[in-house]
Structures are given as structure tokens and as C-alpha cells.
């Protein structure tokens, strides 16, 4: 029996939020194109390949003054609002740089203690206010669902503008996943691409939003295997397991990093996310077993790569930076290119750049 189509326009926020993602993704699209970038699930393989090609083209074009000057004319009539009220270094700066590359003018708010939210204005009114001045909102928020709510709210107004999710609580960080995948794609370009590779994710897999978003994106590749390595308390959550089983993605879970290193084509390290502790529970976890020290590198494949969304603490020893397999500094720089490509896509200027 055909599924009854839900009239998404008529729903309250609480009703809308509860709808399963596949049934509401269309609300964040316009004319078959992505309007808001909120979830990894908005990407299929074609969309990924398009954004990767565009990022590479931008990376090459921006190498010369003439190229960069040209790119800077494309969106010089547009304004971006960077609303980052949860700490960030690279997501904020790479988005800011991406805006500069395309000529966008940027405004920023980095704390609710300096916005009128301190005077009692709701986040909803704050977001609506941004749409009076900006043509796109790029946001990071401590509250799960806030990026989705912002896009939902604006898409119902007379002045809808795109919203990009730069990290929403413990939930998702889709643009991090994009740059992670771009880095994997680049690294495996001469080795058959991402299809068939084994990706090992290590650390705080329960609260690391990059883990969830990257897992969702990996469904677009064939015969990928994921090894999740975490302390018992920080294992992936059931929603991720359900997703993996539903999409027939092969995965194993372990608490032994050393034993599994030899299988991985990519080792994706993460830090403990103790900012989400409720009762200082991280203090009782021996995270040192999930640290990649220089003497462990000999256990890895010679052509494997080491990734990390950064910032790091001690989970990758600084001495590892010298190993040619360390990819995390390039990975963070890739963030600027992929975010530039994403903004270009949302404004529909891909063809101008590719020409």
C-alpha cells in the first residue's frame, strides 16, 4: 500500500522533529537541489562526487592570484552570518575563509553572552533576525536539533535563506564528514577509491558527532568495512548499529586498538568528549589504551592513513605528525576547500567555477 504523504508545512516543530529523517528531507531541498545542509543523509554518491570535484577545482583555481581574484567576484554581493555559540577553531575559521574565497561578506556571533539572547531573546528570534541581514547562516550550536529547527523556521518565512550545520550538540557534524570523506577519496585515489576499504574509528564513539556523520556518509560506498574501537562506556549507540544493519554495512566492535591496527586502511582517531559528561564519568575511563603512540605505527599497513577531526589531546602523540601516513593536517585544510565548494553549491554557482 502506498505510504500517505505527510503535509510537512502544517506541522508544529515538535511534530516535525519526530518525523523520520527520510520522510522530511524534501523540506530542506528546492527544485531537486539541496537548500539547507543539515544531515549527512542528504548526500548520495552523485552529490558527493560533485562536491569533491568542485572542491578540487577550487583548490587548484585559488593557487594563483588571478584564480583567487576571479573566485572572489562570484559571491561578492552576498553576506554570510557565522553563528557559532559552541567553541570551534577550524570549523569557524575554515568557513570564514571559504566565505572570503568566494567574496562573501561575513558577520559573526560567537557566544550567547554577547548576543541579545543574554537579554532573553529566544534562539528562534535570533535566527530570524539573522535572515534580515544575511543570505546564508552557518551555525554551530550546543543544542541537538537547533540547526534543523533554524532551517525549519526560516523555510516557513517569506525570506528563507540556507542554513549550514557546522555541528549540533552530540548529534551531527555533516561538513566534517564531507571533509573526512574528501580526504579519504583523495588518499585512495590511486588505490581504487573508498570502495572496499576498511576504516577504523577509535575513541569516544558514543558522543563524537563526527563518527555518526561519517558513518552515514560511508553508506554511499561499496563493500566498506568499519571497525569501531572504543572503551565499553563509549561504544557507538544503538541508532548507529541499526543504521549499519539496515544499510548492510559490515562492521565489528572491539576495545582492542592494537589488535585491529593491521586491518585498517584508515585509522580515524577521536578525543574523549568530556564536555558532555553528566557526572565526570570520563575520569573513570582509561583512555590511554586508545592513544596512537609512535611505537604503534609499525603495526599499521604501510600505505594506511591516520586521520583525526581535531582538536587532539594525547590520543595522537605529536611525534606521529612526522609519519608520512599522518593525514590530519591536510584533512583540516581540506575543510576549507570542501566548505567553499558547499557554499558555492548552495548558491548555485558550480557551473561558473567549473568553467
Q: Rounded to the nearest whole angstrom, what is the least distance from the CB of residue 337 to ligand CP in the complex? A: 15
Q: Which of 176, 183, 185, 282 lies at the binding interface for ligand CP (CB under 6 A)? A: 176
Give the nearer residue to ligand CP in terms of CB position, either 173 or 206.
Answer: 173
Cell for 158?
517569506
Q: Binding residue for ligand CP (CB under 6 A) from 40, 91, 187, 198?
A: 91
Nearest distance from C-beta of residue 110 to ligand CP, angstroms: 12
The tally of CA atoms less than 13 A away on the side-chain side of residue 199 is 29
Identify residues 268-297 at the interface with ligand CP (CB under 6 A).
none
Residue nearest ligand CP (C-beta atom):
91
Residues with Cβ within 8 Å of 295's Cβ and at least 6 positions away in sequence, in order, are: none
Count CB neighbours of 190 within 10 A. 7
Which range binds ligand CP by CB under 6 A, 75-83, 88-96, 199-207, 229-237? 88-96
310 lines the binding site for ligand CP (CB under 6 A): yes
Range in contact with ligand CP (rule: CB under 6 A) among 55-63, 83-91, 192-200, 282-290: 83-91
Among 73, 89, 111, 247, binds ligand CP (CB under 6 A): 89
* Nearer to ligand CP (CB atom), residue 71 or residue 310: 310
Active site residues: 90-91, 119, 140, 173
What's the closest the beta carbon of residue 210 comes to ligand CP, in angstroms?
Answer: 7
Among residues 311, 319, 329, 354, the one that binds ligand CP under rule CB under 6 A? 311
**309 is a site residue for ligand CP (CB under 6 A):** yes
Q: Which residues bind ligand CP (CB under 6 A)?
A: 88-92, 167, 176, 309-311
Amino acid at each position: 500500500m502506498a505510504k500517505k504523504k505527510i503535509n510537512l508545512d502544517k506541522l508544529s516543530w515538535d511534530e516535525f522533529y519526530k518525523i523520520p529523517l527520510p520522510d522530511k528531507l524534501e523540506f530542506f531541498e528546492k527544485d531537486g537541489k539541496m537548500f539547507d545542509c543539515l544531515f549527512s543523509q542528504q548526500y548520495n554518491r552523485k552529490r558527493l562526487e560533485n562536491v569533491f570535484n568542485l572542491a578540487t577545482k577550487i583548490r587548484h583555481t585559488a593557487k594563483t592570484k588571478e584564480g583567487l581574484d576571479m573566485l572572489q567576484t562570484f559571491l561578492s554581493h552576498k553576506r554570510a552570518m557565522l553563528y557559532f555559540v559552541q567553541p570551534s577553531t577550524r570549523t569557524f575559521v575554515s568557513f570564514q575563509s571559504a566565505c572570503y574565497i568566494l567574496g562573501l561578506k561575513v558577520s559573526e556571533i560567537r557566544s550567547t553572552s554577547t548576543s541579545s539572547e543574554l537579554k532573553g531573546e529566544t534562539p528562534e528570534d535570533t535566527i530570524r533576525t539573522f535572515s534580515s541581514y544575511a543570505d546564508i547562516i552557518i551555525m554551530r550550536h550546543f543544542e541537538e536539533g537547533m540547526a534543523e529547527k533554524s532551517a525549519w523556521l526560516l523555510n516557513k518565512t517569506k525570506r528563507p535563506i540556507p542554513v549550514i550545520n557546522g555541528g549540533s550538540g552530540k548529534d551531527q557534524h555533516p561538513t566534517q564528514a564531507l571533509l573526512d570523506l574528501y580526504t579519504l577519496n583523495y588518499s585512495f585515489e590511486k588505490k581504487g577509491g573508498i570502495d572496499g576499504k576498511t576504516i577504523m574509528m577509535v575513541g569516544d564513539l558514543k558522543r563524537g558527532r563526527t563518527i555518526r556523520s561519517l558513518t552515514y556518509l560511508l553508506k554511499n560506498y561499496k563493500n566498506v568495512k568499519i571497525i569501531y574501537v572504543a572503551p565499553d562506556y563509549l561504544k557507538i549507540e544503538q541508532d548507529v548499529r541499526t543504521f549499519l544493519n539496515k544499510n548492510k554495512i559490515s562492521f565489528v566492535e572491539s576495545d582492542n586498538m592494537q589488535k585491529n591496527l593491521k586491518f585498517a586502511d584508515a585509522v580515524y582517531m577521536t578525543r574523549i568528549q568530556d564536555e558532555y559528561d553528566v557526572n565526570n564519568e570520563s575520569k573513570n575511563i582509561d583512555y590511554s589504551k586508545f592513544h596512537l603512540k609512535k611505537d604503534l605505527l609499525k603495526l599499521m599497513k604501510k600505505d594506511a592513513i591516520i586521520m583525526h577531526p581535531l582538536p587532539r589531546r594525547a590520543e595522537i602523540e605529536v611525534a606521529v605528525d612526522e609519519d608520512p601516513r599522518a593525514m590530519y593536517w591536510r584533512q583540516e585544510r581540506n575543510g576549507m576547500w570542501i566548505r567553499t565548494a558547499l557554499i558555492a553549491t548552495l548558491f548555485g554557482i558550480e557551473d561558473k567555477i567549473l568553467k
